Structure 1
Amino acid sequence: MITPQFLLTAFVVVIAPGTGVLYTLALGLGRGRSAAIWAALGCTIGIVPHLFAATLGLAAVLHTSALLFNVVKFLGVAYLLYLAYSALRSGGALNVEPTTTDESGSTIAKRGALINILNPKLSIFFLSLMTPFLSGNPAAVTQEILLLGGIFMAMTFAVFVLYGLFAATARTYILGSARIMAWMNRSFAAIFALLAGRLALERA
C-alpha cells in the first residue's frame, strides 16, 4: 500500500521529463503561469482513463490486442507531430513569442489531457507500477489501485505545477532574445517529433 518505497518510486516517475512535463514547460514559457497550471491540470486529468483501465483490467486487453494498441498509438503519434508543428508555427499552441493568442484554460487542459490519453503505454505502466504495492487481498484491489493512483495524480499535478511556474519565471528573460525564442521553438518541435517517433516504435 502507501509505503516509502511507493512514494519514492512515484516521485521518480513523475519528476522524469516526459511529454506532459515538456507540454507544461512549453505553456509556461509561451503563455505564463496561468497557462502552465492549466497544462499541469490537463496532463493530470489525462491519467484518469488509464487509471480506470488498470482498475477494470482493460490494460491487459490493450496489451494483448495489437490492433487496439496500434490504433491508440498512432493517434498519439499524429497528435505529438501536430504539437511539434505548433511549436514552429507563429501563434501555434506551443510557440514561444512575445505576443500570444488568448486561449481558454479549458482548451489548454484538454490538449494536455489528450497527450496522456493517447499514450497506450500508460495503462500498461499503471498496471505494472501498482501491482507490487497491493496488499494481495482480491476484495481490496479496486480501492487500493484508486488510492495509489490518486496519490500518483496529486504528485503529478504538484510537480508539473512547479515545472510550469519555473518556466513562467524564465519567460521574462527568454522574451528579451529573439534568438533564444527561435531556439526554444525549434527545440520543442524537435523533441515532440522525437517522442512521436519513439511512440511509433512502441509495442504492446
Structure 2
Amino acid sequence: MELWLLFIPACLALNLTPGPDIFFVLSQALGERRFAGLWAALGLGVSYLGHTLLAVAGLSALVMQSATAFMVLKYLGAAYLLYLGWTSLRSASTLHLPEAQHSDSIGRIFYRGLMVGLLNPKVALFFLAFLPQFISQERGSVPMQLLQLGLVFTLTATLCNGGYGLLGQRLKRGLQGRERVSVYLNRISGGLMMALGARLALVQQ
C-alpha cells in the first residue's frame, strides 16, 4: 500500500503537468471530430501500454543503448508530427466548420495518438528511468512489478490526457459555428503539432 501511495501521486503530478502529449491531445480536440481529444488520449494510452511491455521484455533498454536506433525513432516521430501539423495548416485555408462531414475518422485520430506515442523515444527512456525507482527485489518478480507499475501509469496518464481533451472540446464548442474561428483553430492545431515535431527533432539526447 505504501508503494502505491507514493507511485500514484507521482504519476498524477507528472501527467497533469503540460507537456508534448497534452499539447498533442489539445491540438486534436480543436479539430472537427467530436471527442477527438478523448480518442487521441486513448491512442496515447495504448502506446504507453506498448512501452510498458517493451520495458518488461527489456527491448526498451536495447533501443536506448543504440544511438542509431534512438535517432531513427526520434526523427520518425518528429517527421510524423510535422506531417500532421502541415496537413492541419493546409486544411485551415478552406474554412471548414467544426461540423464538416469529412472530418477525420475516430480510427485515424486514435492512430495518430498511437503513433505519436510509439515513435517518441523519450517515452521509452522515461519508462526506463521512472518505473525502476519503485521496484524492489523483496516484492518478487521484477518483470511483474514493472508490468503493474506500467499499467497504473498508463491508466492515470490516459485519464489525465482525456481530461485535457474534454477541456479542449469545451473551448472549441464555445467558439463553434464561427468560420474565422474555425480557421484559427485549425492553424493553432497545426502549429502546435509542428512545434512539437520541431522540438522533438532539435532537442538534445
Q: Which residue in the other structure is 2:64 paired with? A: 63
| Unpaired stretches in structure 2, ≥5 consecutive residues | none
- Residue number in structure 2 paired with 1:120: 121
Counterpart of 2:166, as a letter, is: L
User: Contact between 2:78 and 2:200, CA under 8 Å: does it hold in 1?
Assistant: yes
Q: Distance in 1 between matches of 2:115 and 2:78?
A: 11
What are the superposed Cα offsets for residues 107-145 of structure 1, whole Å, 9 maximum, x if unpaired? 221111000000011111101111111123485111111
Q: Structure 1, unaligned stretches of length 5 or more? A: none
Percent identical pairs in the alignment equals 32
Which whole-Å CA distance do the structure 2 matches of 1:170 and 1:41 have between them? 20
Higher deviation after alignment, 164-173 or 77-86: 164-173
**Superposition pairs of residues 1-204 of structure 1, within 5 angstroms:** 2-90=3-91, 97-137=98-138, 139-204=140-205
**Contact 1:44–1:113 (CA<8 Å) still a contact in 2?**
yes
- What is the TM-score when the length of structure 1 is the normalising length? 0.86
1:3 is displaced (CA, Å) by: 2.7
Change in 2 beyond 3 A, CA 1:87/1:17: farther
Distance 1:144 1:63 in 2: 21
Residues 30 and 96, structure 1, Cα contact 8 Å, conserved in 2:
no
Distance 1:194-1:170 versus aligned 2 partners, 3 A rule: closer
Assess if the C-alpha contact under 8 Å between 2:24 and 2:192 holds in 1.
no
- SS of equivalent to 1:3: helix
Displacement of 1:41 after TM fit? 0.9
One-letter amino acid of the structure 1 residue matched with residue 64 of structure 2: H
CA change 1:189–1:91 in 2 (3 A) is closer
2-side partners of 1:181 and 1:161: how far apart? 22
